Amino acid sequence: MPATLVFATHNQHKLQEVAAKTGNQLNLQSLTDIDCHDDIEENGITFRANASIKSHYIFNKYNLNCFGDDSGLEIEALNGEPGVYSARYAGEHGNHEANIAKVLEKLQGISNRKANFRTVISLIWNGQEHFFEGVIQGSIRHEKAGAKGFGYDPIFEPDGYNITFAEMSMEEKNSISHRAIAMEKLIAFLNQQV
């Protein structure tokens, strides 16, 4: 029987994305699958800390192999902001329109638009913690373009492309994104273990 691995998320799309890459080697489960509806407070000041908080919470409570992730946008001219506060940059958690408006306002008149998206994954496997990171470089557009994706996708244009994440198909974005890069590293590690 394949080993069980819990992804500390309720997002079924994220879960399917990982399951498609691991095949039948693992019994991949979400927080919903293990009936965990606790509010895991992400109060770390780095992506690494928040990812680790999620994985440790699940491991300590359920004693299951698990992983958690944290991601965000880092803008060079804003000293790495919004960074770990990406989801609540404008105050309210998950208000994408307000977050985008705040970024565009802060960058008014600034020519340096360099930015990157970063994902950090914390995996606890057989009691040991391992970290995997993915970064994609790009720049911030002066205005929104595209209706797909979520968060800052309408203003982030990855290097080598002339469209934003929000103008890409889900498959195209998922093949190059920061999360995809980190997931590939995680999956390569897991493939050596199982």
Catalytic (active-site) positions? 70
At 15, which amino acid appears? L
- Residue 89: how many other CB atoms lie within 10 Å: 24
Q: What are 89's two structure tokens? A: 């940059």
Nearest to 139 by CA among 166, 121, 120, 159: 159
